Structure 1
Amino acid sequence: MNDFDLNRFSRNNSFLVRIGTAILYSVMVAVALNFFWHPGHIYSSGITGFAQIVNTVTSRYLPFTIPTEATYFALNVPLFILAWNKIGHEFTGYTVFAVAMSTIMMRYIQPTHISLDPILCAIFGAAVNGLGTGIALKSGISTGGLDILGIVVRKKTGMNYGKFNILVNLVIVLIAGFLFDWSRALYTALNIFINGRMIDSVYTQHHKLQVMIVTEHPEAIIEGIQEKMHRGITIFHDVEGAYGHTEKTVLITIIDTYDLYDIRTTVQKCDPFAFMSVTEVQKIYGRFREQEVV
């Protein structure tokens, strides 16, 4: 199944996809945490990493231990408020569900016995968590924590979420070095880097595409695109097809990757014989309206 088919299924089954994705993510983060990070003394990125730090500090220096999952949920509460005000109510509702499920899974999905090399713990933990986070973001939900801050920063600055994640989490690398040793800090840095790259490889909504459409029915296509996506369109009139020497119009627009399903179905509906090409865009200068997160 390609990205077009996945987007079509996601749009037609939005609620079920998001609930299922939230549950899938909660299982994956629990596996990453309990099967790899805890046994390997590796810290995660973001709120999960800070929750692990609280767990380590309290178990070492205080007469009581605060569970990682409890801190994880508590630290997310103020970010729920930020998401509610800055991103969207529906988005926040799915985020609360994802975080609550993750808290439960972290508590109850536990290995009976596992012993791995710390570098393997870093690699596999990052791969599992990064894949789960990327799938969640691609489905239109957040996993809480720095996901929320990353989306807000991306909307304001255009910075890729994975890069933002790596920059913010450098402090966790330093803490890992002080609490354990600097080899563990290196493994934590490797974990954070792989996690960020995995997220960016899966979550491609921030990737921009240039779409060129050659059509004999430009008015219908323009109306359909602007109704669904509110995208600006550049129009080239009076172009000629070399094969049939018929008069055509060329439309050029920039979209998010997530818009590709809508624009393709619109073009197919308005002009089944239209020619459409899609290319990746490296940089955009000027005004570009980001897709709203719901």
Structure 2
Amino acid sequence: MKKEAVKDILQILLGSLLFAVSLNVFLIPVHVYSAGFMGIAQLLRDFVSVCSGIQFPFDIAGSINFLLNILIFVFAFRYVSRRFAIMTLLTIAVQSLMLSLLPIQQELLLQDPLVSILFGSVLCAIATVITFNGKGSGGGIDVIGIYLSQHNKGSVGRIYMLVNTSVYLICLVFYDFETAVYSMISSTLLSFAVDRIHKRNIEVEIMVFTENSTELRKELLASSERGITCWSGYGAYTESKKDVLLSVVTRDQMQTFVRLVQTIDPKAFVIVSSQIQVYGNFQKQIV
């Protein structure tokens, strides 16, 4: 248990560092504004700097993002899980520290802005997935999305769209068309990359043909915490009865599931199908 906790914390630290690098080294130098609460924090940073006339020695967007997420932390603590809320608070605190300590790159490392956006967005996606794997999150709308996914209460897409559209409209009004477009491109690339990389967001169907279904059902239910549908089949070639087990799991659960089947019943026949669509009462475990 302690090893798992240490591993989670290390992943959160690494994810937070990569997140800060993606913003301060690649995205902010080409005037890209993040989506969600971080984008709001960046806009508030600009507003505070203009109104106060103070040039801060470090980027205060991370600190503003931390303050914005206090209510989100309380929500996560009460409605998602205490451990997740604490890990999320740790993530946001480390991200804020990293963004403050890591100076913003003054000269572009990559001369083409679109290449910088591509590289920075993919790096940010990797950082996000590493953080999710550490059972934390960057707070903000992510927490609301995880809550809705866990309780099958609909999609967070409309909330994302509302917040992000507001951020980009403000960029369009107060900055220029290029800034708004670059920010939208970055947000789209980030979302696409996270969906492709994050294994807990990808479902696969597993069908098992076995003669030892009783023990398999018990062990698989305990290890995966996923439902299993069972029915009786008949092998035309072997002319023998078989039990058929069907389950839908996430891709990161797949290897454990299949390995357990092979351990308990080495003669079992297993079919794994990807590219499936799942509707109904399937509880996503994003973190």
TM-score normalized by structure 1? 0.85
Cα gap change, 1:241 to 1:142, in 2 (>3 Å)? farther
Task: Tell me whether 1:264 sits opposite 2:258 in the alignment.
Answer: yes
- Corresponding residue of 1:75: 68
Listed as ranges, the matches of 1:203-282 within 5 Å are: 203-240=198-235, 242=237, 244-280=238-274, 282=276
SS at match of 2:199: coil
Unaligned runs of 5+ in 2: none
1:197 alignment partner AA: F
Distance in structure 1 (CA, Å) of the matches to 2:186 and 2:169 = 14
Listed as ranges, the matches of 1:38-187 within 5 Å are: 38-64=28-54, 67-111=60-104, 113-115=106-108, 116-157=111-152, 165=160, 168-187=163-182
2:198 alignment partner AA: Y
Deviations 1:129-157 (A, max 9, x none): 11210222234321222221221232344
Distance in structure 2 (CA, Å) of the matches to 1:20 and 1:167 = 33
2:29 alignment partner AA: P
Q: Is the 8 A contact 2:148 2:154 kept in 1?
A: yes
SS at match of 2:246: strand
* Structure 1 stretch displaced more, 16-25 or 152-161: 152-161
Distance in structure 2 (CA, Å) of the matches to 1:241 and 1:20 = 52
Cα gap change, 1:286 to 1:108, in 2 (>3 Å)? closer
Cα gap change, 1:288 to 1:51, in 2 (>3 Å)? same
Cα gap change, 1:120 to 1:139, in 2 (>3 Å)? same
Cα gap change, 1:128 to 1:134, in 2 (>3 Å)? same
2:281 alignment partner AA: R
For the aligned residue pairs, the C-alpha RMSD in angstroms reads: 2.6
- Corresponding residue of 2:5: 15
Q: Is the 8 A contact 2:12 2:134 kept in 1?
A: no
Structure 1 residue 220: Cα displacement: 0.5
Distance in structure 1 (CA, Å) of the matches to 2:127 and 2:156 = 14
Aligned residues: 282
Query: Segments of 4+ in structure 1 off by > 6 A?
Result: 158-164
Structure 1 residue 165: Cα displacement: 4.4
TM-score normalized by structure 2? 0.87
Identity %: 25
Deviations 1:246-275 (A, max 9, x none): 432111122233332442233123212211
Distance in structure 2 (CA, Å) of the matches to 1:121 and 1:201 = 20
Q: Is the 8 A contact 1:162 1:197 kept in 2?
A: no
Q: Is the 8 A contact 1:163 1:196 kept in 2?
A: no
SS at match of 1:29: helix
Distance in structure 2 (CA, Å) of the matches to 1:120 and 1:164 = 29
Cα gap change, 1:262 to 1:240, in 2 (>3 Å)? same
Unaligned runs of 5+ in 1: 1-10
Distance in structure 2 (CA, Å) of the matches to 1:92 and 1:195 = 23
Structure 1 residue 223: Cα displacement: 0.9
